[in-house]
Structure 1
Amino acid sequence: MTPRVLLDRAEIPNGGGELRLFQRGHEFSIMLGSNELMNSRLSGSEEALATLPCERLSDRTAPRLLIGGLGMGFTLRAALPLLSAKAEIIVAELVPAVVQWARGPMAEIFDGSLDDPRVTVETTDVFDLITHNNAHYDAILLDVDNGPDGITHAPNDRLYSIAGLKTAQKALRPGGILAVWSSAPDAKFTRKLADVGFSVEETPVRARGKRGAHHMIWLATRR
């Protein structure tokens, strides 16, 4: 059996715990304690986080997207072929080491996507980019923590609060989409989105093919 090798460790800012990057053969995983946050074999729902909103914005010639959470780059890679040459994608990643892993041991997975001229990576909290940019984005794609019921970083709760969702709504252009990934459904969060005034779609997606675990993606459109 191919052994699993620990490649690196990284602290999440503000006491969020320690991330660990593992490799087994060609497979990578990122762990927080005993929780596997992501695995390079399971990309389906992260790709859907990009494809679902991008398909709905196909009529926009120069869309600006904000992706919260670089992860293993599946959302970014899925978005690129669906967007025009005039598109702009900003990726916010809180943990600097995750960006280093993307350019280092996981470079093959990223397949040059970080070097696309449409892409800018900001090592910062995505909430800061949302807060200071009104009517700035055509889509905000959030794959932060474990979804609204976060497990890694308590300040992420402000993203999913009523106040945080109102801030995200203001950051979107008219008709813009807030897309949120979660490991599980959350009826309370669906109600929050509706209470803020979004038009809401719930889309269950598979983590991998037809047999992977079900994850949830909300598509919340600014009216």
Structure 2
Amino acid sequence: MATAYDTPQVLDRREGPYGEVVLRRHGELLQIIANGCFLMDTSDGRSERLLVDAALDALDSRPGPRVLIGGLGVGFSLAHATGNPRWGRITVVERERAVIDWHLGGPLSVLTGEALTDPRVQVVEADLIDYVNETSATFDALCLDIDNGPDWTVTEANENLYSPAGLASCTRVLAPGGVLAVWSAKPSPEFEGTLWNAGFQQVRTEEIPVARGVPDVVHLGVRPG
């Protein structure tokens, strides 16, 4: 028997500076769509949690490491980071005002309501590329999840983040020995090579096991000490 959940229900649709963003409900899932491209939903979150854990595991034992989370999304990475008392300052950079609003009292607040009240958390409304180019802050880890991966960007301008110039900006805001972690919907050997060429060390890719299809991955690299 058909139900109302068989067809996705649009909860909010907004036109922002980077195009259209949509939040919709499909059954029990909440989904974010940007310019007609599916970005993420609330179905799993394993790879988003891996993004945070892999970065922390790659760090040395420095106290209270500072992390920049690039992209708020559905909030899995932020919620997971605040659940670990080892993290120090947690800065989240999100360019879409709509996404921030969906977490601040909107439908996604069920996932991040407590995380956003954590005193370690600061949410910055900005384009991530502009932020890393302009900020004077320094971080021990960058956990970036603003695209479907280095080879499948949401907007054309995002390609700059994965270029040698973009990685140089990431290096600039990373403390010595700091970790860059980049989420991707599929492995990118080419991006691994770009990380090596940009001077990162201990470059590797961690995968989330799946029953079939291409696994989500996290690309990792460490800035030399």
Q: Same fold (TM over 0.5)?
A: yes
Aligned counterpart, 2:222: 221
CA distance in 2, matches of 1:109, 1:212: 27
Correspondent of 1:161 among 141, 152, 163: 163
CA distance in 2, matches of 1:127, 1:140: 12
Q: Does 1:198 align with 2:200?
A: yes
CA distance in 1, matches of 2:122, 2:161: 21
Q: Does 1:35 align with 2:37?
A: yes
Q: Counterparts in 2 of 1:140-151, with a 5 A limit? A: 140-151=142-153
Correspondent of 1:5 among 9, 14, 38: 9
Q: Offset of 1:82 from its aligned partner? A: 2.4
CA contact (8 A) 1:2 1:24 kept: no
Are the structure 2 counterparts of residues 203 and 191 from structure 1 closer, same or farther at C-alpha, using a change threshold of 3 Å? same
Q: Does 1:123 align with 2:125?
A: yes
Aligned to 2:216, what secondary structure does the other structure show?
Answer: strand
CA distance in 1, matches of 2:79, 2:220: 19
Aligned counterpart, 2:65: 63
Q: Offset of 1:133 from its aligned partner? A: 4.0
- Please tell me the root mean square deviation across aligned C-alpha atoms, in Å: 2.0
CA distance in 1, matches of 2:35, 2:137: 38
Aligned to 1:82, what secondary structure does the other structure show?
Answer: coil
Q: Which residue identity lines up with residue 112 of structure 2 in the other structure?
A: F
Q: Which residue identity lines up with residue 9 of structure 1 in the other structure?
A: R
Runs of 4+ residues deviating >4 angstroms = 209-213
Q: Offset of 1:47 from its aligned partner? A: 1.0
CA contact (8 A) 1:55 1:82 kept: no
Are the structure 2 counterparts of residues 50 and 9 from structure 1 closer, same or farther at C-alpha, using a change threshold of 3 Å? same
Range with bigger deviation, 167-176 or 143-152:
143-152
1:22-77: CA deviation from partner (whole Å, max 9, x where unpaired) = 11343201123553211101211111111111223362212111111000110111
Number of equivalences: 218
| Length-normalised TM-score, structure 2 | 0.89
Are the structure 2 counterparts of residues 205 and 31 from structure 1 closer, same or farther at C-alpha, using a change threshold of 3 Å? same
Are the structure 2 counterparts of residues 195 and 135 from structure 1 closer, same or farther at C-alpha, using a change threshold of 3 Å? farther
Residue ranges of structure 2 left out of the alignment (5+ in a row): none
Q: Offset of 1:153 from its aligned partner? A: 1.4
